[in-house]
Each structure stands twice: as structure tokens, then as C-alpha cells.
């Protein structure tokens, strides 16, 4: 049986902003990680997926996942 690598739990602040006809979101601790959506719920789901993909990419590339320093 193969061991399953332990997954770390990460928490990042998400800033959501209302634009003219949609919403946008970003995380100050993950530069370049952004998402948009038609509703607040949609942008939240999209941002969750964007953070997952961003962190997974860092891990696959053997780059450090930044520590969260932002808070609200």
C-alpha cells in the first residue's frame, strides 16, 4: 500500500469587490491569484478554485507556499 502525502491546510484572506456588472476577488497573500463571477457566490467559488490551483502549482513546482499575513 502506498502512503498518501499529507495535505496542509492553508487559509488566505479573500478580498471581493463589486464592479459594474460583476464581482472580482483576489488574495493579497497570493499575487496574481484572481477570479471573477456574476454573483458573490460565483466569485467565491471561482476564487476557492483559483487558490487551490495556485497552491497546487506552487507545490508541484517545488516553490514555497507563502504564509498568510493578511487579515480582516
Contact (Cβ atoms closer than 8 angstroms) between residue 19 and residue 38:
no
pLDDT tens digits along 11-50: 999 999 999 999 999 999 999 999 999 999 999 999 999 9
How far apart CA 36 and CA 67 sit, in angstroms, is 24
- Say what the pLDDT of residue 8 is: 75
Cα distances from 1 to residues 4, 5, 10, 12, in angstroms, run 9, 13, 27, 34
pTM of the complete model beyond 0.95: no
Architecture of domain 15-60: 2-Layer Sandwich (3.30)
Q: Is the pLDDT of residue 4 over 50?
A: no
H/E element, 47: helix 40-60
Question: For cell 464592479, what's the residue?
Answer: 19
Average pLDDT on 52-72 reads 92
**Domain range list for the chain:** 15-60
At 5, is the pLDDT very low, low, confident or very high (cuts 50, 70, 90)? low
Other Cβ atoms closer than 10 A to 18: 10
Amino acid at each position: 500500500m502506498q502512503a498518501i502525502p499529507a495535505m496542509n491546510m492553508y487559509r488566505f484572506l479573500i478580498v471581493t469587490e463589486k464592479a459594474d456588472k460583476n464581482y472580482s476577488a483576489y488574495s493579497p497573500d497570493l499575487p496574481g491569484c484572481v477570479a471573477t463571477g456574476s454573483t458573490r457566490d460565483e466569485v467565491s467559488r471561482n476564487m476557492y478554485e483559483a487558490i487551490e490551483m495556485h497552491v497546487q502549482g506552487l507545490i508541484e513546482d517545488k516553490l514555497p507556499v507563502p504564509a498568510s499575513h493578511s487579515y480582516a
